Amino acid sequence: MTNEAQTFNDIVNARRSIRIYDEKAPFDPEAVTRSLDRALLAPNSSNLQLWEFYRVKTKAKKDELAQYCLGQKAAVTANELIVFVTRRDKWKEHANFVLAEAMKDFPDKIGKREQLVIDYYKKIIPALYFSDPADLTGGVKKLAAAVTGAFRPVPRQVTATDVRIVVHKSAALAAQTFMLSMAAEGYDTCPMEGFDSARVKKFLQLPAAAEICMIVSVGKAKPEGVYGKRVRLPKEQVVFEI
Ligand SMILES: Cc1cc2nc3c(=O)[nH]c(=O)nc-3n(C[C@H](O)[C@H](O)[C@H](O)COP(=O)(O)O)c2cc1C
């Protein structure tokens, strides 16, 4: 094993979900800044980066948000709360940005590879992400995928619900990158889905299409903040070699 792998192994093993933080322990907010920078580098679907990270630092705002986390001690005793939000509504804006950035490096004469990238962001992404309020287009796309899919492999994640899952996957990867980074910085975290999403959305003044993926609390653990030993299913039950 390389030294880097050993260090990574130590970080993964050190991370536990912490339910009580030591509010008096020294805390470097720059560790959060660095970890959010790293979270931005998480892999994400089509590189559309349909996520936003809201960092709630001030005591009054943090205390209010902790109440929307149902008063969990993991939120109440934290130094900061980071809300990982999905923004599937921003697909067009982000697709244009990512394509424009890619095109800056394109040669003057557009070749086959460049045309594929342009078609991807101009045709495929709109086909996947566009939806009407009742998602009637989603139904049509699903039917078309079922018919064409009988003859060749096709993308089947085409409805509005499928798109919601896609953006939550990417936001969750950003949250995990953030948590591992905080562990590397010597701090602790707790991912939370126990919150009142309607109140959290109102608190952050988010539009209807935005969704809360996860709220991650950060701080320095109190020894009693680790609830029990680490339990995982036997590997044979979940890891399969094919
Ligand atoms: C999506 C998600 C939501 C979670 N929500 C909560 C929560 O609301 N409150 C809490 O105390 N822990 C929450 N957890 C933490 C899990 O209970 C914890 O990760 C699990 O028990 C394994 O423990 P470990 O993280 O210490 O390895 C959540 C974890 C994930 C991934």
Is ligand 1 within 6 A of the CB of residue 74? yes
Which amino acid is present at 76? V
Residue 186 shares a structural domain with residue 71:
yes
Q: Is residue 190 part of a domain?
A: yes
User: How do strand 210-219 and strand 188-192 relate by DSSP bridges?
Assistant: antiparallel
Q: For atom 19 of ligand 1, which residue has the closest CA? A: 17
Per residue of the chain (242 residues), what is the pLDDT tens digit? 999 999 999 999 999 999 999 999 999 999 999 999 999 999 999 999 999 999 999 999 999 999 999 999 999 999 999 999 999 999 999 999 999 999 999 999 999 999 999 999 999 999 999 888 888 888 888 888 888 888 888 878 889 899 999 999 999 999 999 999 999 999 999 999 999 999 999 999 999 999 999 999 999 999 999 999 999 999 999 999 99
Give the single-character DSSP code of 57.
-
Q: Is residue 32 part of a domain?
A: yes
Measure the N-to-C terminal CA separation of the chain; round to a whole number of Å.
Answer: 25
Residue 184 shares a structural domain with residue 128:
no
Q: Which range of residues forms the domain containing residue 22? A: 3-83+174-238
Q: 236 CA distance to ligand 1 centroid (A)?
A: 23
- Sign, Cα dihedral of 38, 48, 158, 138: positive
Residue 77 shares a structural domain with residue 96:
no
As a dihedral over the C-alpha atoms of residue 149, residue 154, residue 159, residue 163, rounded to 10 degrees, the angle is 160
Query: Which structure tokens are listed for 103?
Result: 């095109």
Alpha-carbon span 162 to 29, nearest angstrom: 36
Q: Is residue 167 part of a domain?
A: no
Contacts of 129 (CB under 8 A, 6+ apart): 88, 91, 92, 95, 163
Residue 105 shares a structural domain with residue 69:
no
Residue 180 shares a structural domain with residue 73:
yes
Is ligand 1 within 6 A of the CB of residue 72? yes
Domain-ending residue, one of 100, 127, 161: 161
Q: For atom 25 of ligand 1, which residue has the closest CA? A: 17
Residue 39 shares a structural domain with residue 108:
no
Residue 77 shares a structural domain with residue 8:
yes
Contact between residue 212 and residue 69 where contact means Cβ atoms under 8 Å apart: no
Q: For atom 23 of ligand 1, which residue has the closest CA? A: 17
174 sits in which H/E element? helix 160-184
Q: For atom 29 of ligand 1, which residue has the closest CA? A: 191
What are the beta bridge partners of residue 215? Answer: 83, 192
Residue 20 shares a structural domain with residue 119:
no
C-alpha closest to that of 46 among 106, 107, 90 = 90
Please work out, in degrees rounded to the nearest 5, the angle formed at the alpha carbon of residue 46 by the alpha carbons of 173 and 85: 45
Q: Is residue 166 part of a domain?
A: no
CATH number at residue 178: 3.40.109.10
Q: 5 CA distance to ligand 1 centroid (A)?
A: 25
Residue 79 shares a structural domain with residue 96:
no
Amino acid 157: pLDDT = 82
Q: Is residue 181 part of a domain?
A: yes
Domain-ending residue, one of 136, 161, 186: 161
Contact between residue 131 and residue 158 where contact means Cβ atoms under 8 Å apart: no
Number of structural domains found in the chain: 2
Alpha-carbon span 218 to 55, nearest angstrom: 11
Amino acid 6: pLDDT = 98
Amino acid 87: pLDDT = 98
Residue 71 shares a structural domain with residue 8:
yes
